[in-house]
Amino acid sequence: MKEVLKYSRCFVCGDKNDSGLKARFYYDGKQAVSEVSALEQFEGYRGIYHGGILSTLLDEVMIKSILALDRYAVTAEITVRFLQPVQTGDMIRLVGRVTKSKGRVFLTEGTATGERGQVFAAANGKYVEASTDLRATLMDSVE
């Protein structure tokens, strides 16, 4: 598996963002994957991981599945279905894949599962390939 490009100051994948998640994303030729620990500093209620952080991780794994194809896109919309709470300390496996592409539009799906295979959340996303000017800005960010 190859590691997907990242921006070092990104909240999700940046290794130089002290406030961030520092998640690493890989591409296996079909999908983007990552594993993160649900840290207590990101809880929404005592002992429960914040749903907004989980949504952010799902958005990132889905867009990484596009970036791995050397296509630069931005989020147009995501829908997240929360199926069960993530407890702080849980390991979360994230998987994202492109399900369809047409022109500049990519449709994706993502899942967040636990070590026992339980599904914490599932998402669908729509992403639009960046215009030439925006692509140049995005490309300038990644390493």
In CATH, what number is assigned to the domain containing residue 106?
A: 3.10.129.10
For 48, the token pair is: 């429960």
Confidence of residue 30 (pLDDT cuts 50, 70, 90): very high
Interatomic CA distance for residues 124 and 109, integer angstroms: 4
What is the per-residue pLDDT across 84-128, written as a single tens digit (0 to 9) for each?
Answer: 999 999 999 999 999 999 999 999 999 999 999 999 999 999 999
Q: Provide the domain limits for residue 100.
A: 2-141
Could you tell me the pTM of the whole model? 0.94
What six digits make up the tokens of 26? 């890989």
What is the tally of structural domains in the chain?
A: 1
Alpha-carbon Rg for the chain in angstroms: 15
Q: How confident is the model at residue 136 (pLDDT cuts 50, 70, 90)?
A: confident
